[in-house]
Amino acid sequence: MVQLLRLGRAFETEFLIACRKVGRCEKLPDTRYNKPPCDHYSVWSQPKILTFFECKSTNCRDLPLADMKPHQLEAMNHYDHAFPGTYAGFVIQYRALNGSPVYYIAGKAVQGYLDQHPGVRYLPTDFVRGSGISIGIREANPNTRLCNRLEIGDFLVRLNKT
C-alpha cells in the first residue's frame, strides 16, 4: 500500500514538473485538515485557459472508481467548462498498460458515464481513450540522460480545441 502511494505521488510530481516547464502550475496542499478539489491548478498564458487537474495513477487495466473521491468528482464536474476556457478533469496514468500511457478526461465526461452506468466500480480504459485526450510521452534518451517527459504543451493546445 505504501509503495502504491509513493508511485501516485511520484506521478503527481512528474506531472507538476512537466507543467512548470510550460507555464505556471500550482499544487494545492493536501493535509488531513482540508480536502482540496484537485491536485493542481493553473492559469496558462498560451493558450489562455484555466485548468484544474486531479492526478490518478493505477496499476489496474481500468481505473477503480474508489480512487476518485466523491468531492473530487463533484468539483471536477462543477468546474469543467464553468466559464469559457475553463477545463477540469482527471489525468490518469495506467501503469499496467504497455508504455504507461497518460490520459486526460474531463470531469463532465466522467460524471456522464457514471450517470449512464449506475453502480459501476471501474472507469473503463476504452471509455477514457475514446472520450479523453492522450498526453504524449517523449521517451527517455540514455545518451543525454533525459528521463521520460510528458508533452504538456501539445496537450494544452489540444485541450483548448475541445
Which domains does the chain possess? 2-29+36-160 (3.40.1350.10)
What does the pLDDT read at residue 3?
A: 56
List of the chain residues with pLDDT < 50: 1-2, 144-145
Q: Given this model, what pLDDT does residue 33 score?
A: 67
Q: Are 55 and 8 in contact (CB under 8 A)?
A: yes
Position 130 scores a pLDDT of 96
The confidence score (pLDDT) of residue 2 equals 47
Q: What is the pLDDT of residue 120?
A: 95
> How high is the mean pLDDT of the chain?
85
- Residue 10: its pLDDT value, please? 84
The per-residue pLDDT for 140 is 57
pLDDT at 16: 84
